[in-house]
Chain A
């Protein structure tokens, strides 16, 4: 199950952060998101020189902890998507599909002429769409 999703701007400023669980302390999840920003910086500054992984938007597993796994994604505009999940065996392909759909939702949200680039995403439509994507992700992996 996905417990937390965050969109972080190019100056590491939060644009959208949402947790999808009642059980966990939201602060703890935010803390994990914050920590993984360093891991992203590290990955981007020391890119693997080889093969198909170069400059890919999907950054893969960032940091596994006891109960959670954190995945990252980086767009061309240096906006980061960070996902915290409690599923411990997730296939990379599923993650890629999820991030692609999430990216599409994000693009639609920022294409709104009333959205100010670099400011928080307040669109309700975006929040609803993200909730739907998150729900459908849970279905494909468990069922």
Chain B
């Protein structure tokens, strides 16, 4: 995959100087740049992986525990999600508002995933134990591809960034939910898959029931 300068927005240098946290800004800008320009414009994977690793490392210096680090990554993703929703609704949905639960979930599973990662998510399942839980699973999440978690960091998952994106989309579409990323071991595979667990708040399910 080639790396071409034209893929980056021209204002990159300026932002770098003005922003208190350069990695954060540039990262988001690239994620959005990919979605803003129509067609096959893409950012090279190595550039993305490098920036993402910088994002994680920068945030790591700012926190003193894992939960806080995950929360910061999630916040970074949230801003991306909010914008991705606005953009894709305008571009892909043909002037319709999505008001149903399954509609917005499949929108995330296919449309959002395709734009951000170039493919639809591997699976979208409903939780078996709880009515309000949905799971969006991915065998090899793009952000986790080059990341191995040190043993002492426990259950930390960089997918928190993607969970943040999903949360940003859902919250802004009027489906508030708690979204978390987890590793789930798979039989016969060395690497665990990443599951994005979506737990909707009660009012969403009540409204859904009323809509029938």
We find that the number of chain B residues with CB closer than 8 angstroms to chain A is 23
B201 interfacial by beta-carbon distance below 8 Å: no
Asked whether B90 lies within 8 Å of A104 as measured between CB atoms, the reply is yes
Our pick among B29, B86, B96 for the contact of A77 (Cβ within 8 Å) is B86
Residues of A within 8 A of B95 (CB): 56-58, 96, 100
* B93: A residues at CB distance < 8 A: 76
The complex places the Cα of A58 from the Cα of B95 at a distance, in Å, of 7
| Distance between Cα atoms of A42 and B93 in the complex (Å) | 24
* Residues of the B chain whose Cβ atoms lie less than 8 Å from the Cβ of A108: 36
A26–B174 alpha-carbon span in the complex (Å): 32
Chain B residues near A143: list those with CB within 8 A.
Answer: none
**Bound complex: CA of A58 vs CA of B173, how far in Å?**
17
* Cβ of A138 under 8 Å from chain B: no
What 1/0 flags go to B91-133 for Cβ under 8 Å of A? 0010111110000000000000000000000000000000000
Give the A-B pair count, Cβ closer than 8 A: 61
Q: Decide: A113 and B25 in contact? CB cutoff 8 A.
A: yes
B97 touches A74 (CB 8 A): yes
Q: Please state if A111 and B32 are interface contacts (CB–CB under 8 Å).
A: yes
Q: Separation in Å of the B181 CB from the closest CB of chain A?
A: 22
Total contacting residues, chain A, CB less than 8 A: 22
A111 to B87: give the CA distance in the assembly, Å: 8
The interface residues of chain A lying within 8 Å CB-to-CB of B32 are: 111, 113
CB contacts (< 8 Å) of B25 on chain A: these are 113
Known interface pairs A56-B96, A56-B97, A76-B97. Does A113 touch B79 (Cβ–Cβ under 8 Å)? yes
Which of A58, A76, A117 has a CB less than 8 Å from the CB of B89? A76
Judge if B193 is at the interface, Cβ distance under 8 Å.
no
Query: Does residue B178 face the partner (Cβ distance < 8 Å to A)?
Result: no
Q: Are B173 and A111 in contact (CB under 8 A)?
A: no
With A111-B32, A113-B29, A117-B79 known as contacts, the answer to whether A75 contacts B96 (CB < 8 A) is no
A55 contacts the other chain (Cβ, under 8 Å)? yes
B28 near A75: Cβ-Cβ < 8 Å = no
**Which residues on the A side are within 8 Å of B174 (C-beta)?**
10, 77-78
Instruction: Answer whether residue B139 sits at the interface, using C-beta atoms and an 8 A cutoff.
Output: no
State whether B90 touches A107 (Cβ < 8 A). yes
Who on chain A is nearest to B87 by CB?
A107
B171 (CB) vs chain A CBs: closest residue? A77
Q: How far is the CB of A63 from chain B (nearest CB, A)?
A: 21
A77 CA to B171 CA, complexed, in Å? 9
Bound complex: CA A106 to CA B87 (Å): 9
Neighbour of B86 across the interface among A55, A96, A111, A114, CB < 8 A:
A111
Contact partners of A10 in chain B: CB under 8 A: 174
- Say yes or no: A110 contacts B86, CB within 8 Å: yes
A75–B99 CB distance below 8 A: no
The reply on A103 being an interface residue by CB < 8 A is yes
CA distance A78 to B79 in the complex (A): 17
**A104 to B36 CA separation, bound complex (whole angstroms):** 11
Are A75 and B89 within 8 A (Cβ)? yes
Separation of A55 and B211 alpha carbons in the complex (Å): 13
Distance in Å: Cβ of A44 to nearest Cβ of chain B: 9
Between-chain CB contacts (< 8 Å), 6 pairs: A75-B90, A76-B98, A77-B86, A110-B82, A117-B79, A117-B172
Residues of B near any A CB (own CB < 8 A)? 15, 25, 28-29, 32, 36, 79, 82-83, 85-87, 89-90, 93, 95-99, 172-174
